[in-house]
Amino acid sequence: MTSIVNRFKVRVPYPFGVVAFWVSVLGKWFGLLRGGWSQRVVEYPWVLAEEAPELDMAGSGRVGVRAVGGGFALFVGRLAYNAVSAVGSIVIARLLGPANYGVVSIALIYPLMFSGLADLGLSTAIMRYASIGDFRRAFTALQLRVLITMAFAVALIPLAPYLAFTLHRPYLTPMIDVLAIYAFAYNAVTSITAFLAGVNRYWDYVVVDLVRNSVRVSSSTALVLAGYGVYGAVWGFSIGYAVATVYAFVRLVKVMDPVLSLTRNDIAEVLNYSIPLYIPGLLGIPIGQFYNILMAIYVTNAEMGNYQIAGNLLMPISLITGSLSTVLFTTLPLLVNENYKFRDALNRAARYTAIIISPIAIALALFSKQAAYIVYGPQYGLAPLYLLIMAISNLLAPFGVVPMYLNIIGATRTTMALNIVSMLIGLPITWALLVHYGVLGAVIASLINGVLGTAISLIVARRMYGIVIDAMQVVKYWAPSLIAGTLTYPTMHIMNNM
């Protein structure tokens, strides 16, 4: 009886708290909008008084319409994509069992790594050049990425026995051979979807994603049911992505005639843009491996399990931030030749990202215990604290417009320098906190590193490029959610103790 009462006490405040929180948020938003915060609230000290009228609503309004429509399309598409993935993983995991399902995950390690190594930062280059209308260089980047990926995928086949040996599972050799198709098709299809996003064909982007995931899940399930077991699940990846590649190419040809030519100047220009984006990722490989070693030594399996659960519960924020970043990166370039409007749009993007992300982040932090217990059960007692800190970290998402701006104008070397500096600053902080406090230390270090990295990027953007992201306005757009959370928490605490 006592356990039932205790469970009841945990869950009674949850619906009440959710309602109270969102009522408070909506009330604060209404007051914010009535008070005129929805008007242009950013002051531009570098704009002369007679030049201020140049900042009319036409340019940023046009971008806003595209951003809203594109953001909705991408959010709906990614939600459906993740739903198909979740259902598929549950079905296939049940059919294969834990051991065989683990084999599939291990077999994917090297194909995914080879695909990542073959990127060279070209996926961002494709999207950027397509979004500014430089289709010749966009297709140059696309062809380079496909050709380089083809070379890496072909190399997987003769290397498969040695790669399987390094994983202490020689029986993975034929699976890695099959997944060479997946390694090629993965980069090929994502190259085309990057171009489609760049030209604002968001629904085509979404449909291609759904095709590849639906075909992958259905073919894997069918082959497993037909008795092919793990091999059937592996073939499903290659079949799904191969079919999606063909479909994506058909959509691409219907949208625009591909410019299939490679010139030395275009290749040099594209690589000059993309390689600086690639280098931090390469440097991150040994650093990531070092973190993995530290976790293996200082972190328990239970902590890792709780950390994984917290990451899963952040999916709503991941869906939204992913959709927002893609749509903003492909619509803001429309204003790249209108400097003041571009700066105005950047600040608007930061504020609107804040007003979208902050209530979700604060809600996840506020109801972290209830969310973890209801979805995964009370045995994951560490997950709520991890989730709370990780959710708060996402309040920094609005300031992601700074590296986005740098990549749009082609200042990728500055982006590279910022990323490397952030890694170098974060290494000793993460090392020290992880060794002493385990996963909790790593999560706190991630928050600290995020704050420091954001501060450095804001300073660099202001001093080197004259870009001022008004942090106080972002804080004002955090305010409704922060106030609502502050008001709701003590109420929930009182209800929980009744």
pLDDT of residue 8: 33
CA–CA distance, 489 with 484 (Å, rounded to integer): 9
Whether the pTM exceeds 0.85: the reply is: no
124 CA to centre of own chain:
13
Torsion angle, alpha carbons of 307, 308, 309, 314, to 10: 90
* Length of the chain in terms of residues written: 498
H-run or E-run covering 179: helix 173-198
Written in H, E and C, the secondary structure of 71-88 is HHHHHHHHHHHHHHHHHH
CB 138 within 8 A of CB 130: yes
Question: For 430-479, how does the pLDDT look when each residue is reduced to its tens digit (9 = 90+)?
Answer: 888 988 888 888 899 989 999 999 899 889 888 888 888 888 888 888 87
pLDDT in tens, 87-120: 777 787 778 776 777 777 778 888 888 888 888 8
Q: Which residue type occupies 446?
A: S
Which two structure tokens, joined as six digits, stand for 412? 């990728």
CA distance 278 to 448: 24
Interatomic CA distance for residues 404 and 390, integer angstroms:
22
How does DSSP assign 320-388, residue by residue?
A: HHHHHHHHHHHHGGGGTTSHHHHHHHHHHHHHHHHHHHHHHHHHHHHTHHHHHHHHH-TT--SHHHHHH
Q: How far apart are CA 197 and CA 69, in angstroms?
A: 12
Cβ partners under 8 Å of residue 162, min gap 6: none
Which range has highest mean pLDDT (53-62, 296-305, 308-317, 460-469)?
460-469
Query: pLDDT by residue (tens digit) across 234-291?
Result: 899 899 999 999 998 888 888 776 666 677 888 888 888 888 988 888 888 788 778 8
Residue 94 has what pLDDT? 77
